[in-house]
Chains A and B, each alone.
Chain A
Amino acid sequence: MHTLALIFPYAVAFTVPLLAASLGGLFSERSGVVNIGLEGLMVSGSFTCAVVASRMETVLGPGNPGALWMGLGAAVVVGALFSLLHAFASISLKANQVISGTAINMIAGSLTVFLARTMTGSGNVRIVLGFIPSDIPVLSGIPILGPLFFTKTYATTWLMAAVLAVAWFVIYKTPFGLRLRACGEHPQTADAAGINVYRMRYIAVVLSGALAGLAGGIILVTYSGEFNGNVAGLGFLALAALIFGQWKPLGILGATAFFGFAATIANVSQVIPQFSRIPGLLLKAFPYVVTLIALVLFSKSSQAPRASGEPFDQGKR
C-alpha cells in the first residue's frame, strides 16, 4: 500500500498527457481519419508551451500559474493549427493518411529543434518552474482514496478529468457525436443523411491536434520542464492506447492508466525492492509486448471505426 501510494502520483502524471493525446486520436479516428501525427503534434505543443511559458515567466515570475496556463493555451492553438496540414492532405486531397501523419511527425521533430536552436542556440527550451503538485483540501484526508487520488495532484490532471467527461458526453450524448461516429463508420450514409463529412472530419482532426498539443504542453509544465525536441514516443503509445482501449473514452482511460503504471514501475524499479529483482529489459518492454498481445486478442472483436483510414469520396458508394 505504501509503495502504491508512493508511485501513484508519478503514474498519474505520466498517464494524463497520454490520455489527452489518445482522446485526440479518438476524435480523429471516430471521424474516419487515422492520425499517426499525434507524436509530432505533441512535440509542437510541447515546444510552443515551452517558448510561451518561459517568456511569460520572465514577465510574471517563475512558476506563475498564469504564465503556465498561457503556455498551455498556446500549445492547444498551435496543435490545432498544425493539424490543419494533416486535415488538408488527408481530407481535401485524399492523400494516404499514414504518410501525411508521418510527414507531420517529421516536420514537427525537425522544425521545432531548428526554431529552438535559432532562438536559444542550444535546441533546448527550458521553463524555470512548472506546476507544483498540491493536496486537495478535505478530500486528501479520506482514507485510502485520499492518498491515492487527492494527494500531490497537478491542476492539469483535474483539467483532463473534465476533458474526459466532456469527450464522453460529446461522443455519446450529442448530435455532433452521433454524426462524428457516423462519418467514421459509413461516410456515404452520413453524407446521404445530409451531414457534411468533410466538415466533420476537419473538425475532428483539428480537435485531435488541439488535444495532442495540450498533451505536449502538459508534459512540459508537469514532469519534464524542458523541451528537447521529442516526447519520447508518447504519441505512438497514445495511438496504441487508442486501439487497446477499443476506440472508447473509458477504455482509453484504462489503457493509458495501464501504460502510465507500467512505465512508472519500470522507471522506479531500481529503488523499490519488490521490482529490483526483475530484469530492466522485461519491465521496459512489458507495455509494448502486452500491447501486441492485446491487439491479437482484440483482433476478432475489433471495434475499429469501419471507415477509419479511408478517404471520403462523395462520388463513390
Chain B
Amino acid sequence: MSRFKNLFTALAAVVLGLLAGAVFMALSGSNPLAGFYYLFRGGLMNMERIGNTLASATTLVFTGLAVAFSFKTGLFNIGASGQMLMGGLTATAIGLSVQMPRMILLPLIVLAAAAAGALWAAIPGFLKAKFNVHEVVATIMMNWIAYWTVYYTIPAYFKGTFLETESRRIPALASFRVEWLTNIFRGSYINMGVFLALTAVIVIAIILEKTTLGFELKAVGFNRYAAEYAGIHVPKNIVLSMSISGILAGLAGATYYLGYAVNMQIGVVPSAGIDGIAVALLGANSPWGVLASSLFFGILHSGKGFMNAMTKVPPEIGDTIIAIIIYFAATGVLFTRLWERITRKWNKEA
C-alpha cells in the first residue's frame, strides 16, 4: 500500500510542478501547451534526442542514487557536486596523462573516480561520526574546496589548447563514448556510462534490500539509538554510507566529464549534484524510483533547449519546474493525507 502512496505523492508533485510551469509560461507571454509540446518533443523526437535524454539521465541516476543512499542512513549528502567534481578531476587527470590499452584504462578511470568521490564524502562522514559535525554544512564546505581545487588544478596541469578555463580534450581512448552506441543514437552524448548507471541501480537495490549491510544502514537511518542498542556500530555505518554515496557521485563525475562532455571546465558547479536531491526525493529514495525520475528529468534537461528555440520560453523553465516539483515532494504530506482520505473512503464503501 505504501508503494502506491509514494507513487501517488510523486505523481501529484510532478503534476503540480508542470502546472506551475504552465502558469509561468503563460505569464511570460507564451502558450503553455506549445511550450510543453516542444519541451517533450525536444527530449524525445529522434534517436539523437533520445540519446541525449539518456545521457542526461545517466548523470542524474548516479547523483540521485548518491543522495538517496545516504538518505537511507538518515544523512543528507548535499555534497554530490563536490564529489562529482573530484571524481571528474581524477578521471580527467588519468585520461589525459596515462597511456594504456582501453580495456585496462577505462576500468582504472572508473575505480580512481570512485575512490576520489568516496574520499571526498568520507571526510564529512567521518566528521559526522566522530565529532557530530552536521553533514550538510560539512559537505557544502567540501563542495567549495573541490570547486577551487578544480579551478586551480586544470589550468596548472591540464590547460586546454585554446582556452585557459578548460582542460585539453579527452582522447578517444579514455572517453566513455563508443562508436557503435554513438552511431545508433546518431551522434548524441550517450556513452558507456548508461550501462554503468543501470548496473549501479541494480547493485544499490541489492545492497539495500538483500544484504546485512543494507539492513544495518537503514536501521541507523530509522533510529540511530535503537540501532546502537541493537549492537550496530553506528559511526562505522555513517562513514560507510557516505563513502558509498561518494562512490556514486564520483562515477557521475567520470561519466559526465569523460562521456557526456569532452573536457572539464573550471568555474562551474555541476547542477547534477543538486538535481540529484530532486531525483532522490521524487523517486522516494528507492533505486528504481531514482531510475524513473532520472529519465523524466533527463527529458526536461535535453528538451528545454529545443523548446527555447521554438518558442520564446526561457530554458530556465525546465529547472523551475524541477525546483517546484521538489517543493511539492517536500510537502508530500499534503498528498499523503489526501491519499489516506481517498483510500479510507474507498475502503468504507467496499
* B28 close to chain A: CB less than 8 A: yes
CB pair B333–A93 under 8 Å, yes or no, is yes
Q: Which of B123-158 contact A (CB under 8 A)?
A: 127, 131-134, 136-138, 140-142, 144-145, 148-149, 151-153
Tell me, rounded to whole Å, the shortest Cβ–Cβ distance linking A214 to chain B.
22
* A139 close to chain B: CB less than 8 A: no
Bound-complex Cα distance A134 to B131 (A): 46
* A118 close to chain B: CB less than 8 A: yes
Point out the residue from B132, B274, B330 that lies within 8 Å of A100, measured CB to CB. Answer: B330
Bound-complex Cα distance A219 to B156 (A): 31
* B326 close to chain A: CB less than 8 A: yes
* Given the contacts A36-B136, A285-B148, A102 and B316 also touching, CB distance less than 8 Å: no
Tell me, rounded to whole Å, the shortest Cβ–Cβ distance linking A235 to chain B.
10
CB pair B131–A103 under 8 Å, yes or no, is no
Residues of A within 8 A of B133 (CB): 292, 295-296, 299
* A89 close to chain B: CB less than 8 A: yes
Q: Which residue of A lies closest to B278 (CB)?
A: A106
CB pair A299–B132 under 8 Å, yes or no, is yes
Tell me, rounded to whole Å, the shortest Cβ–Cβ distance linking B301 to chain A.
12
The count of chain B contact residues (Cβ–Cβ below 8 Å) is 44
* Given the contacts A240-B141, A295-B127, A295-B133, A102 and B274 also touching, CB distance less than 8 Å: yes
* B323 close to chain A: CB less than 8 A: yes
**Interface SS, A side:** helix
* A123 close to chain B: CB less than 8 A: yes
Bound-complex Cα distance A239 to B132 (A): 17
Q: Which of A271-302 contact B (CB under 8 A)?
A: 279-281, 284-285, 288-289, 291-292, 295-296, 299-300, 302
* A77 close to chain B: CB less than 8 A: no
Tell me, rounded to whole Å, the shortest Cβ–Cβ distance linking A157 to chain B.
25
Tell me, rounded to whole Å, the shortest Cβ–Cβ distance linking A286 to chain B.
10
Bound-complex Cα distance A288 to B82 (A): 13
Point out the residue from A93, A94, A295, A300 that lies within 8 Å of B138, measured CB to CB. Answer: A295
Residues of B within 8 A of A99 (CB): 76, 277, 281, 326, 329-330
Point out the residue from A89, A123, A280, A296 that lies within 8 Å of B327, measured CB to CB. Answer: A89
Q: Which residue of A lies closest to B124 (CB)?
A: A292
Tell me, rounded to whole Å, the shortest Cβ–Cβ distance linking B139 to chain A.
10
Q: Which residue of A lies closest to B131 (CB)?
A: A299
Bound-complex Cα distance A209 to B230 (A): 42
CB pair B322–A93 under 8 Å, yes or no, is no
Q: Which residue of A lies closest to B30 (CB)?
A: A118
CB pair B144–A239 under 8 Å, yes or no, is no
